[in-house]
Amino acid sequence: MAKQLGFYVDQQCCIGCFTCQIACKDKNDLQPGQLWRKVREFQGGDSLEDKGVFRSNVFAYWLSLSCNHCEKPKCVENCPTGAMYKRTEDGIVLVDQDKCIGCGYCTWSCPYEAPQLAGKTVSKCNFCIDLQQQGKNPACVDACIMRVIEFGPLEELRQKYGKVNEIKGLPSADITLPSLVLTPHQKAIK
């Protein structure tokens, strides 16, 4: 493979505005309830009394995720028709709509819940290939008002931001090797 494209997300600075999710939905004209990029909220903590004073350790943080275009995609591995495939030139995982029979094996196999049944076939993030071919960024990247989402060759993202690709609340990265780099929120570090 020439290069593996991936996403970087600075979780520390994400404010959970959902703009990336909306931009993706709008750009791809997705049906109601269908999301190729999802913003997840994580929350916890409580208030504790200490000598008559209540102290709070309440927290909330967000994570914007789409298909991670994994290095070892379970969706591709478990697709009985070969409709799910990984491009050799850039590692993007795509769906061949002509081969998809809507069996749902890919939706069950993906630990990130990226592929989704839409009518009689499956759809998912295609890394905005059409925009990339025009020299543009994926819609989610440009829409992010906090500029916490980037994309590019995975090795370059790792050199720039490190190799963290799993946090509390996400599946083990060992399963699929997601093409994802994160700067985790302090409460999300495993």
pLDDT for the residue 120: 94
State the residue for tokens 């819609």.
Answer: 139
Any domain includes 189: no
Any domain includes 75: yes
Among 93, 91, 90, CA closest to 123 = 93
Cβ atoms of 3 and 85 closer than 8 Å: no
pLDDT for the residue 50: 87
32: left (phi over 0), alpha (psi -120 to 50) or beta: beta
Write the DSSP symbol of residue 131: H
Residues in CB range of 53: below 8 A, 6 or more apart: none
3-class SS of residue 105: helix
pTM over 0.75: yes
Among 93, 95, 91, 77, CA closest to 154 = 91
pLDDT for the residue 48: 87
Range of the structural domain that residue 32 is part of: 5-46+56-183
pLDDT for the residue 8: 98
Question: Which residues sit opposite 59 in a β-bridge?
Answer: 44
Any domain includes 138: yes
Q: Cα-flanking dihedrals φ and ψ of residue 3, to 5°?
A: -160, 155
Any domain includes 166: yes
Write the DSSP symbol of residue 55: E
Any domain includes 164: yes
Among 38, 115, 104, CA closest to 73 = 115
Any domain includes 14: yes
Q: Domain with 75 in it: what CATH number?
A: 3.30.70.20
The total domain count for the chain is 1
pLDDT for the residue 17: 98
Any domain includes 51: no
Cβ atoms of 130 and 138 closer than 8 Å: no
Write the DSSP symbol of residue 72: S
**Separation in Å, CA 100 to CA 17, 33, 96:** 33, 20, 6
Amino acid at 123: S
Any domain includes 190: no
Average pLDDT of each block of 10 consecutive residues along the chain (190 residues)?
Answer: 90 97 97 95 90 90 97 98 97 98 97 94 97 97 98 98 95 96 93
